[in-house]
Amino acid sequence: MAAVTSSMNTVWDVEPGESRKPGIVHVVMLALFTGIGIVVGTFGSLAVPLGFVSAFWPGQAVQSIGAIWFGWWGGIAAALFPLISNSLSGSAPLPVSIMYLPGNLLQGMVAAWAFRYFKTDPSLKTQKDWWVWIIFGAVLPNLIGAAWGSTTLVAFGLVQQAAQFTTFLGWFIGNTIPTVILGSLVLKFVSPLVVKTKAFCKGLWA
């Protein structure tokens, strides 16, 4: 994939002589973000207890944000924390959560790839940054997640095939709205701190 180049320095640019490699801090960040996701995901599932259907789930914001800031480390957290939060809230049994894994991974990594490809500032400084965030951080991940999730539910017989589209729509809308609100706030105000830390990943692993 050809990278979009810009004459201006972005937070993603690796400076000459700069050495970046995965370290303990990334493993720690993976664990911490998984912990954050467990709390936010469980809270969302318990706040609107529709069970296996995701109707209000701020956890998706954590998935996108984590992957944007920390690349694959955030992506792995995005896949891992719903396994635990779904079990804690009772919103999805283990087999269903395991089937959700690829969808959850993609929900995080789409934003990670897009932000790096389009050299988007995580602090959402320009209009272009906002559009990339909304489309690739909120809309597209939730389209993928809702499609994957509703298909999983049909496969497990928890939702009728005829109801799949309605389930998909409710899932998509119910997740996209908290992602946009919560994710925008956090990216705007916390990204300036994150980009200065050792854990911030300019690439996908460091």
- Closest approach of Cβ 4 to other proteins, in Å? 27
Of 1-9, 91-99, 125-133, 142-150, which segment contacts other proteins by CB under 8 A? 91-99
Judged by beta carbon, residue 3 or residue 46, the one nearer other proteins is: 46
- In whole angstroms, the minimum distance from the beta carbon of 7 to other proteins comes to 24
- DSSP, residue by residue, 31-66: HHHHHHHHHHHHHHHHHS--TTS-SS-THHHHHHHH
Q: Under the criterion CB under 8 A, does residue 89 sit at the interface with other proteins?
A: yes
Phi and psi, residue 44, nearest 5° = -65, -40
Closest separation in Å from C-beta 113 to other proteins: 22
Cα(162)–Cα(3) distance, rounded to whole angstroms?
A: 42
In the window 8-47, what residues touch other proteins (CB under 8 A)?
22-25, 27-36, 38-40, 46
3-class SS string, 86-121: HHHHCCCCHHHHHHHHHHHHHHHHHHHHHHHHCCCC
DSSP state of 7: S
- Asked if 52 is part of the footprint of other proteins (rule: CB under 8 A), the reply reads yes
195 and 71 Cβ atoms separated by less than 8 Å = no
Residues 128-147 that bind other proteins (CB under 8 A): none
- The residues of the shown chain that bind other proteins, judged by CB under 8 A, are 22-25, 27-36, 38-40, 46, 49-53, 80-81, 84, 87-91, 93-95, 156-163, 166-167, 181-182, 185-186, 189-190, 193-194, 196-199
